[in-house]
Amino acid sequence: MTTVIDIPHSLDEHSFEQVLEQVAPLPPDAKMLLDARHTTWASPYGLGALLTLGQTRGEARATLAVPENDDTTSYWARANFFHYADELFDLKGVVPKRGARGDSQVLLELTPIAKSEDVHGAVDRIQERTQQIIGKELGLDPKAIVGFAMTLSEVCQNILEHAGRGGWVMVQTYNWTKRLGRRVVVIAVCDAGVGFRSSLETAGNHVPSDRWDDAAALEAAVIRGVSRFRDPGRGQGLAGVRKYIGRWGGKLSVRSGTSRIAIVPDWDDDLPLEENLPNFPGAQIQVTIPERVAR
Amino acid sequence: MTNHIDLGTVLRQTLSANLYSNLVTRPTGAAVRGQIELMLRASERSLTVIDFSHVSMIDFSCADEVIAKLLLSRGSQDREAYFVFRGMTDDHWDAIEAVLERHGLALVVERDHGVELVGVLDDREVRLFQAMKHRGGSAAAWELAIDMNEQESTTGLLLERMWRRRLIMRDGDAYMPVGELA
C-alpha cells in the first residue's frame, strides 16, 4: 500500500513539519507518494528538506508528484531541485528541463556539500552575487557581505564536521511580505546525517545528564558552542554565525532530531525552542538576514 | 632567517582546484598550516611574514587552524618562530579577532605606519611595545624600565612574558619589536 503525503501549498521551515508529521509514523520501508501537485511556493529550506527526506528513504525510494503549476516547476528547475530529486525520487508529472541560470532571486542553487572543496565552491559563487544583493538591495553595510560568506561557510561546514554524509545548501533572496514586509536573504543547509545529539555523544568527555535529548544537544551546540572535539578551538563556527545574525538583525534556526532551536529577532515571533517534533535525521539550518530599513 | 609566505599562493598550492582565494574550512586551514610548518621546520630561529594580500576572506574555522594553531605552536621552547602578519584588512579581522580572543592570543600586524600588536593584550604590554618602538627598535630592560616608570625587575618580567608570547624578539640583553626587521 502506498501512503500519500500531502506537501503544503507553501513549503517552508514551518509547513515542512506537516510533511514530517505524516511521514514519522510510517515504517522506513513504507511506500510513499509525496504529492506536491498543488504546491505553488517553496523556500530554500523547503526544497533542501525535501531532498533530505528523499535521502532518508534509501531503498524505499519514494515517488514525488511534482507541482502542476508551470511557474513553480520552472523555479524548482532553476534551483536545480529536479537534478538532485531525480536521483532520490521517482518523479511523476511534467518535469521541465534544467532551466538556464540567471534567476536573480536565487543566489546559490541547490548545491551538494560533501567535502571541503564544495564549501570553497559555494563561497566563491556566492561572493560574486552578494555584493549586488546585500549591498544595494538589502541596504546592508559592505562589511555584511564578507560576514555573509563566512556564515555560509560555517553552516556548510556543519555538514562536513558532523553529518557523516552529504547535504545541500541553497541561498535565495525574496520579498517576505507575510511576516516582515521586507526583503530577506536566506541560507538553508539541510542534511540527513547523524544530527547534533549523536554527534555530541561521540565526544570523549560526554556525560549524558538526566535531560539529555535533542533539545539539550541543540542548546549545547548552538548556544554554548559545545563541540564533540576536545580541541578548544572548536565550536567557533556557530558562535560566529550567532554574532553575525545579532549584528545584522537576522534569525538563526536549527532543527535536529525532534527539536528545533531559534535565535529570534524582535521582528519575528517564532518559538526559541520546540521539542517533541516528529523525528527527522540530521540537521537543518536556516539563516535569515533582513533588509535594513532607515529608522 | 626571514621568510615571506604568500597565503594566497599556499592556498592555491594546497587545493587541487587552483581557483580559490578564500581561506575557508578546517581541512583547508590545517593543510595550509601544514605547508607553513614545513617551510619553518628547517630553522630554529625564524621571522616569517604571513601575507594576506591575496586572500579575499577567512572564516572562523580556518582562522583557528591557520592563525591560532600556528601562534600556539610558536611558544615551544626549542624553537623561536616569530610571525608578522601583512595585508590584513577588515575583511579578515572579524574571524581572526574571534580566534585570538578564544585562545587569549595576540599577534604582530604590519600597517602602513609600522608594526602594532592586536589581540588579547593588557595595557602594560601595549605601552612597552610602544616604548620599544619609540626607542627606534632595540632596547635594554633598564632603558625600558625608565620609560615604563617601573623597577627594572618588573619590566624584565613583562619582557620575558612578551618574548614567550613571541611578540618581541630578544638578542642577548636587548629586546626589539617583532617585525621591525621584516
**Which chain B residues are closer than 8 Å to A123 by Cβ?**
22, 24, 57, 59
Question: At what angle are helices B90-103 and A236-247 packed, to 10 degrees?
Answer: 130
Which whole number is the average pLDDT over A105-114?
90
How much of chain A, in percent, has pLDDT values that exceed 90? 61
Taking only the tens place, the pLDDT of each residue in B39-75 is: 887 777 889 999 999 999 999 999 999 999 999 887 6
Q: CA-nearest residue of chain B to A244?
A: B94
The pLDDT confidence band at residue A294, using thresholds 50, 70 and 90, is: low
pLDDT of the residue at A251: 95
Q: Which of B134, B133, B124 is nearest to B159 (CA)?
A: B124
The pLDDT confidence band at residue B2, using thresholds 50, 70 and 90, is: confident
Taking only the tens place, the pLDDT of each residue in A193-236 is: 888 898 888 776 666 777 889 999 999 888 887 777 767 767 78
Cα(A152)–Cα(A155) distance, integer angstroms = 5
Partner residue facing A236 (CB), from B15, B64, B91: B64
Residue in the block written with cell 561572493 = A127
Q: Which residues contact B48 (CB under 8 A, 6 or more apart)?
A: B2, B3, B4, B5, B36, B39, B40, B81, B82, B83, B84
**Residue ranges with strand state E in B61-163:** 80-86, 106-111, 114-119, 139-140
The pLDDT confidence band at residue B76, using thresholds 50, 70 and 90, is: low
Report all structural domains of chain A as residue ranges with CATH numbers, in order of start: 1-93 (3.30.750.24), 103-295 (3.30.565.10)
pTM, 2 dp: 0.89
DSSP collapsed to 3 states, B44-57: CEEEEEEECCCCCE
- Please tell me the distance in Å from B148's CA to the nearest CA on chain A: 35
In the beta sheet, which residues pair with residue B47?
A: B2, B82
Partner residue facing A154 (CB), from B59, B65, B102: B59
Q: In what order do the strands lie in the sheet with A251-257?
A: A106-113, A167-176, A182-191, A280-290, A251-257, A259-263, A273-274
pLDDT of the residue at A129: 78
How much of chain B, in percent, has pLDDT values that exceed 90? 68
**Which chain A residues are closer than 8 Å to B71 by Cβ?**
none
- Please tell me the distance in Å from B48's CA to the nearest CA on chain A: 23
Find the chain B residues whose C-beta atoms sit closer than 8 A to any C-beta of A.
15-17, 19-22, 24-28, 56-57, 59-61, 64-65, 68-69, 90-91, 94-95, 98-99, 102-103
Which whole number is the average pLDDT over A111-131?
89
The pLDDT confidence band at residue A131, using thresholds 50, 70 and 90, is: confident
